[in-house]
Every structure is written in C-alpha cells, then in structure tokens.
C-alpha cells in the first residue's frame, strides 16, 4: 500500500438507483440527516449545503485507481452489510468516473479530503489513500442512526453537501497501557477501529512496566517467562504477552486504517519487571521481583554498566523489526535516583563523563539511547523528565506534568505532544476530568510565543490501567471522553461550542453500542459546593451538564426531592444527590457526609500553609462541616507536604465543650502518613494556652491500604474543656520512612475537619 502520493486522486462512487422519493423505510418516508443538525465528529473544517439528497440502493459501483483498492474493498464490505438483499456491483462502461489531477502535495495537508454528495453521485477526493479513508469515515457518519445500529434496508439516503476537511494537528493519539492490566489483541483491534472512525492516527502502546513485560525478545526469553507475569494479592499468576506474530498482525491492521502504533519501552526507570528476569543489569544485582502494586519503585537500569546498554539496544533492535514507526517512545519518566546515588558504577560513570549530578546522568543515558535509535533511522520520544539535565538534540517531548515542559521543549525547537494530567488522563475520575474538561483542552498554551507554536504537533489521551482490570472498565474510562479529544485535535475550532458537540455525541452512542464499546458517563452528575457566609453554611448543588435534573435526600429521609435552592446545613448526616437525564437516573448517587458542631463556620488561622494542590475549601476547610471520604481527591481533604499542621480556631465566645475529633488520612503508596502526634490546647485570650491532651501515633504504617484514622480528645478530668480559642498541632513524620520506595522524600499529612463537640 502506497502511503504518500504526489498526485490528487478522485475517488468516485456512483450509486445507480435514481433519486426518487419512494422508499422502503419504516414510515414510508425518505429519511436522512438534516443539514442543520448533522452528527459529524470531528466536525469538518468547511461544509456547505447542496440541494436535494442522494439515494443509495443495492446496485452500485465503486471505481477508483488501483492505489485505492483497499479503501474500495473497505467501503464495499461496509455497505454490503446494510442491505436486505445481496449487493450488485455494476461493471458497466461509463457507470462511474475516475478523475486524476496533479497537485503540489507541499501545498496541501497530506490527510486532507473532500467529500461531495449530490443527487446523482458521491465523490471523495484526497491526496492519498489515508485521506480517502477519512472521507469514508465521514460518509459513514452521514447515514441515519438506523444505519449505525446495523439495520438493513433496501435503500438509504444521504444529505447533499460539500465538505473540505483536514486535521489541525498531525499527532492525534491514545496511549493504551497494557502492562498494569493486560488486554488481548482483539481489544486492541477494537480500539484501532474506533480511533480510525474518529480520525485519530496514533496508538501509543505502553508495552513495558514494573508490573509486566508484554513483548517477546528472542535474545532474552526470560522477559516472557518471568517478566510478563506477577502474583496478584490472592497469590494467583496474572499477566500475558503478545507473540511477535500478533504484534505484526496489529501493526498491519493499524496500517490498513492509517493508525501508527508507537511502542513504548520504558527506561531507565519503570523497569523492575525486566530486572526481575535479568538483575545483572540493575545496580544491586538482585534478587528482584515483578511488582504487584502501583507507584514509583527504586529499581532502575544501571547507568554505569555498559552491558546494560547492550541489553537495551538488543531489545530495541527487535522492537524496530516489528514496529516501523518513525518514533520509538522510551519513557524516561519517574526515574528515582536512589540506586544511582548509592551505586559505585554509576558514580564512576558520572566522574568519567564529567556529569554534575544524577539528572545529568539520566540525560547521558537518554542521549546514548537516542544515538542508537538515530543510527537506525528512528527518532526518540520521552516524557518531559527527559528535559532534566539537558535535552537530546532530536528528541520529541511528551508533556504530562502540565504544559510547562512542553513549552520549554518547543522554545528549544523540539516537537511536542501535549498530554497534561489536567486534561488528558483518562484514568482520572470524572470528578477531575470529565467530557467538558477534555473538550476545553487547548494543546497550545496562550503563554507560548507564536514563533514556537508550530512545534506543538498534537496531543494524546493517556489511559493508564492500574485500576482498570477488564475491557468493560477500559471502555467506560476511554469513551466518550476520547471522542471529545478527537474533535479538539482535528477541528481545533477557536470558538468550539460544547453544547453543539454534546448534541452530536448523543447520536453516536448507538454506533458505540453496535461495535461493542461499553461507554461510560460524560461527567459526575453534580458538584456539591459549600457557600459560607454570616448566615451559615449552605450546600449548593451544581449540575455538571445543563441537560440534567437533580434531586436530593438526607440519609434518614425516604424519598428524593427536587433541588431548587441551596440547602442550609442544620443537621449532621449523609446527603444523597441523584442526577437524572431524560427522566432516567444518571450514574450513581453522590454521597457526602456533613457534621454540625460548635466550631462550624468559625475563623481559622493557619500557622503553616496548606499545599496549593490540596486546598479543600480554603481557610474554612477544617470548619465547613464536610468530612472526607476514602478518595483523598474528593475536595474535602487539605494537604501539608513535608510540614506540620498548626491552626487556631476562634470560637468568638468562650464555650464549654466535651471534646474534639479530627480525621487524618493514611495511604503510604501516595506518601500520605498519619501524624506522629496530635496536640490540643485551649485559651481564653489567644495568648496564654492550657495544654490538654496529646495523642501519639505508633510506627508509620507502610502497607498500601487507604484508611482514615480519627484522633479523639475527651478531658473527663476537667468535665470537658473551656475556652474561646482552640489550637491544634499535628506533627508530620517529615520524611518517607526507610524501606519505602520513596524513602527520604517529603511526606504528606492530610486532614479534613476539626469537630468540636
């Protein structure tokens, strides 16, 4: 199949059968999409209405140049599945027209296409076969919903129109992590088909990780015998890998749909699975096990051992034999330097090469691998950490830690793929990144100077699968959000209209269902916002989609009532909020615990500042009545990184209170630990303090279970406590303890509410 052509080809579809209004549709009427409410996604760059409609019946002919034979077969098979009788392909002379016109390909986007639908014929024009397929995918979407769901009829109708279309960005991708959880080749094929349908052109296949290795390397068979498998928490063997024949099959399948598969082979970090099989390429020599947990781990390829580079180069040689992509992704992210700091070979390498620190050692590592790839005609992509210590000359950067790394790379004239956690992480919950958030994504930051904007070549949605164990969960995470990203990267309209996109999307769900995609929700039904003023605390329910209705009830109530105005917080309990779409429940109820107490809505003074990433409700977070859930991203928790907590609550008037309760969060995997101790003091004037009680914690909990611990203070000796001011001090453990993968890093301390009883 020729991928690039120096001529403009015209692919003509002349469907014989006339243009009469008689039809065999269910209601006896001609049915086709109204021009003013077309359901196309991504929406074309230019589209014009023409008079009339086109009638398609079982007798048709498709004629084209030989170069487009694959696309001709694709469309023939597609259409043949939608007629009540077998199709009849005509071969009559002059039954269709093939036009052949030269253009200068440098003046056109290579993926451009033009689609003309008139009352007498359909034409798809393009620079090359890839453009033809784009036109076919648009043509598919012009059929009514009955066609999308697989219905068969004697005739179909299409609106007359003209489209001229091309993508705004050359790189439009999806990262699929098949390491944390493994998905077989049929699932990957389903995703390739979906990407093609929405005119995406890259599948970034994440093939190696700490938790699994998914590609055979003939020279190193233990990568499949050992590295592809792990023992799960129940002691069961879990994993798998693709054979080389399966990978070649996937590459061919993707190429037929003009999808480039970019393989990712992680280095120097995220390599523990490989080092479990070949520990001689680590800094310690082992023993090392394949990880059965999520996070960032110490084990890393030894940068001071030349045999490590031979090992990686051998692997990449076999990778390049399977994957013909221009780019090879090498990861480069989250590479802990602990092993290198304590490895004599790595320290000697730094001294011999004149490297200032371990960041420069990572740059040395990446540049050495890049030279190998360049020598074999390939280019390197890495996550934005490869900027640390100096960027390789020709490397492309995938920016995930915000936009800053991408802008830095663009300003040094390196190609950039934007996939920031703020907009493009499909493993994040809908409360963080919903359909509308992705649709608002702009790959080109406004702060980036115009001279460097052309280096932003596109974006990707990243689907990490730590918590995605099966195909149904995968589908519900990816869809429909990836469809929003597809339109952003293709159409890139500066005045994009979410409401119009949302309307079009609703009519794509029948197609997704028909092709076996178990799509999820578009958003969390509602957001609970605490409005705090002198009159009290009011719970405002905000719809995340204008098309939803909201109802609520407290846990002790039997029925839901319609929400009309903010709810004053006057009692403790659990608030249940249910969203409805078209009269049907939309997702699960949102549940939030509230508690009323004496410090509610009082003034809080912070002696240590909370971290900007976990602010909760700001300065009133600890007295807003809202308690945190087991999800520390829920907006109720306030985080302190490497610092103690010291706050003072002003109750306005001196009061007697029986005690105090405060919750802290524990999740070692995210470096969140319970405090060493918690101390409570009271004062009448804010100057002289009475120390009441101290609660000490035991040794830091190192298991990776999420939990919440309540520290309770009841001073029975004094029949309660008395004062206007309450001072709470919680002592951070400081550093992540020894034995943890992040040993020595600053530890987090999370707190949600100070409940004064």
Residue 87 has pLDDT above 80, yes or no: no
**For the residues 517-533, what does the mean pLDDT come to?**
93
Q: How confident is the model at residue 104 (pLDDT cuts 50, 70, 90)?
A: low
CATH number given to 526-594? 2.60.40
Architecture of domain 7-165: 2-Layer Sandwich (3.30)
Residue 120: predicted pLDDT: 81
Q: How many other CB atoms are found less than 10 A from the CB of residue 56?
A: 21
Residue 367: predicted pLDDT: 93
Residue 563: predicted pLDDT: 95
Residue 13 has pLDDT above 90, yes or no: no
Q: Encoding tokens for residue 188?
A: 């990957």
Residue 84 has pLDDT above 60, yes or no: yes
**For the residues 241-258, what does the mean pLDDT come to?**
98
Q: What is the DSSP letter of 280?
A: G
Residue 20: predicted pLDDT: 34
Q: Please give the Cα distance from 741 to 668 (Å, whole number).
A: 10
180-212 confidence digits (pLDDT tens):
999 999 999 999 999 999 999 999 999 999 999
Residue 716: predicted pLDDT: 61
Higher-confidence position of 134 and 13:
134
pLDDT > 90 fraction of the chain, expressed in percent and rounded: 73
Q: How confident is the model at residue 426 (pLDDT cuts 50, 70, 90)?
A: very high
Number of residues that make up the chain: 757
Higher-confidence position of 688 and 10:
688
**For the residues 53-70, what does the mean pLDDT come to?**
80
Strands, E, within 630-697: which ranges? Answer: 638-641, 645-657, 659-666, 677-683, 690-696
Is 2.60.120.1190 the CATH classification of the domain at 603-756? yes
Give the chain's mean pLDDT.
90
Q: Residues 6 or more apart from 696 whose CB is under 8 A from it?
A: 676, 677
Residue 26 has pLDDT above 90, yes or no: no
**Burial class of residue 404, CB neighbours in 10 A (0-12, 13-18, 19+):** middle
Torsion angles phi and psi, residue 147, rounded to 5: -65, -45
Q: How many other CB atoms are found less than 10 A from the CB of residue 202?
A: 24
Residue 616 has pLDDT above 80, yes or no: yes
Most confident of 121-125, 591-595, 713-717: 591-595
Q: Residues 6 or more apart from 738 whose CB is under 8 A from it?
A: none
Residue 89: predicted pLDDT: 57
Q: How confident is the model at residue 717 (pLDDT cuts 50, 70, 90)?
A: low
Helix (H) or strand (E) holding 74: helix 69-80
Residue 90: predicted pLDDT: 55
Q: Please give the Cα distance from 81 to 645 (Å, whole number).
A: 66
Residue 393 has pLDDT above 90, yes or no: no
Considering all CA atoms of the chain, what is the largest pairwise distance in Å, rounded to the nearest integer?
105
Q: Are 369 and 380 in contact (CB under 8 A)?
A: yes
Residue 692 has pLDDT above 80, yes or no: no
Residue 1: predicted pLDDT: 36
Q: Please give the Cα distance from 288 to 299 (Å, whole number).
A: 8
Q: Please give the Cα distance from 696 to 550 (Å, whole number).
A: 44
pLDDT > 70 fraction of the chain, expressed in percent and rounded: 93
482-499 confidence digits (pLDDT tens):
999 999 999 998 889 999
**For the residues 51-78, what does the mean pLDDT come to?**
83
Structural domain boundaries in the chain: 7-165, 207-233+266-394, 526-594, 603-756
Has this prediction a pTM greater than 0.85?
Answer: yes
Candidate CATH numbers 3.40.50.2020, 3.40.50.2300, 3.20.20.80, 3.30.60.50; the one for domain 207-233+266-394: 3.20.20.80
Residue 19 has pLDDT above 50, yes or no: no
Residue 22 has pLDDT above 70, yes or no: no
**For the residues 532-548, what does the mean pLDDT come to?**
91
Residue 10: predicted pLDDT: 38
**For the residues 534-558, what does the mean pLDDT come to?**
91
What is the arrangement of strands in the sheet containing 561-562, beginning at the earlier edge strand? 561-562, 548-554, 573-581, 584-594
């Amino acid at each position: 199949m020729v991928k690039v052509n120096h001529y403009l080809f015209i692919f003509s579809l002349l469907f014989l059968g006339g243009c009469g209004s008689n039809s065999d549709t269910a209601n006896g009427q001609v049915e086709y999409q109204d021009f003013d409410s077309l359901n196309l996604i991504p929406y074309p760059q230019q589209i014009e209405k023409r008079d009339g409609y086109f009638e398609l019946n079982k007798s048709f002919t498709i004629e084209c140049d030989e170069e487009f034979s694959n696309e001709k077969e694709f469309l023939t098979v597609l259409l043949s599945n939608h007629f009540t009788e077998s199709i009849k392909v005509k071969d009559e002379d002059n039954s269709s027209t093939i036009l052949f016109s030269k253009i200068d390909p440098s003046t056109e986007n290579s993926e451009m296409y033009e689609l003309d639908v008139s009352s007498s014929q359909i034409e798809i024009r393009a620079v090359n076969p890839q453009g033809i397929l784009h036109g076919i995918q648009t043509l598919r979407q012009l059929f009514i919903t009955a066609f999308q769901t697989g219905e068969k009829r004697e005739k179909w109708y299409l609106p007359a129109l003209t489209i001229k279309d091309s993508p705004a960005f050359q790189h439009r991708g999806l990262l699929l992590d098949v390491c944390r959880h493994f998905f077989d080749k049929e699932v990957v094929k389903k995703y390739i088909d979906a990407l093609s349908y929405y005119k995406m052109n890259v599948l970034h296949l994440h093939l190696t990780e700490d938790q699994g290795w998914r590609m055979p390397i003939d020279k190193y068979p233990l990568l499949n015998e050992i590295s592809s498998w792990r023992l799960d928490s129940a002691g069961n063997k879990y994993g798998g890998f693709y054979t080389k024949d399966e990978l070649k099959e996937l590459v061919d399948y993707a190429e037929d749909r003009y999808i480039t598969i970019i393989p990712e082979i992680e280095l120097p970090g995220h390599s523990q699975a490989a080092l479990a099989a070949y520990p001689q390429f680590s800094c310690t020599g082992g023993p090392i096990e394949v990880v059965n947990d999520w996070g960032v781990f110490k084990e890393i390829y030894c940068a001071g051992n030349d045999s490590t580079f031979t090992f990686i180069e051998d692997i990449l040689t076999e990778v390049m034999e399977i994957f013909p992509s221009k780019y090879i992704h090498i990861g480069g992210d989250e590479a802990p330097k602990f092993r290198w700091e304590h490895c004599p070979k790595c320290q000697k390498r730094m001294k011999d090469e004149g490297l200032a620190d371990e960041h420069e050692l990572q740059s040395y590592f990446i540049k050495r691998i890049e030279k190998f790839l360049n020598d074999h005609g390939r280019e390197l992509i890495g996550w934005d950490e490869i900027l640390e210590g100096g960027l390789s000359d020709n490397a492309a950067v995938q920016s995930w830690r915000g936009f800053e790394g991408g802008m830095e790379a663009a300003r040094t004239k390196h190609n950039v793929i934007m996939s920031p956690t703020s907009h493009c992480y499909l493993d994040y919950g809908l409360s963080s990144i919903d359909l509308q958030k992705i649709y608002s994504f702009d790959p080109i930051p406004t702060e980036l100077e115009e001279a460097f904007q052309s280096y932003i070549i596109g974006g990707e949605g990243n689907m990490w699968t730590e918590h995605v164990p099966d195909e149904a969960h995968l589908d519900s995470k990816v869809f429909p959000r990836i469809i929003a990203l597809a339109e952003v990267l293709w159409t890139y309209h500066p005045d994009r209209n979410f409401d119009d996109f949302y309307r079009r999307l609703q009519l794509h769900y029948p197609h997704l269902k028909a092709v076996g995609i178990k799509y999820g929700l578009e958003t969390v039904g509602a957001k609970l916002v605490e409005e705090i003023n002198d009159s009290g605390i009011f719970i405002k329910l905000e719809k995340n989609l204008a098309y939803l209705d909201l109802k609520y009830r407290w846990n002790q109530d039997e029925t839901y009532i319609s929400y009309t105005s903010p709810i004053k917080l006057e009692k403790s309990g659990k608030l249940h909020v249910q969203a409805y779409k078209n009269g049907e429940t939309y997702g699960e109820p949102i549940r939030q615990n509230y508690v009323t107490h004496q410090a509610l809505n009082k003034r809080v003074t912070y002696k240590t500042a909370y971290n900007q990433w976990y602010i909760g409700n700001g300065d009133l977070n600890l007295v807003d009545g809202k308690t945190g859930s087991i999800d520390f991203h829920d907006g109720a928790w306030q985080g302190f990184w490497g610092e103690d907590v010291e706050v003072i609550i002003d109750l306005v008037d001196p009061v007697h209170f029986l005690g105090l309760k405060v919750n802290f969060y524990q999740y070692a995997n995210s470096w969140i630990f319970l405090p060493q101790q918690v101390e409570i003091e009271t004062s009448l004037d804010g100057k002289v303090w009475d120390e009441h009680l101290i609660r000490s914690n035991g040794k830091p909990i190192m298991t990776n279970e999420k939990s919440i611990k309540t520290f309770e203070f009841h001073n029975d000796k004094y029949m309660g406590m008395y004062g206007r001011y309450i001072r709470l001090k919680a002592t951070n453990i400081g550093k992540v303890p020894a034995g943890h993968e992040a040993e020595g890093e600053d530890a987090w301390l999370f707190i949600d509410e100070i409940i004064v009883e």
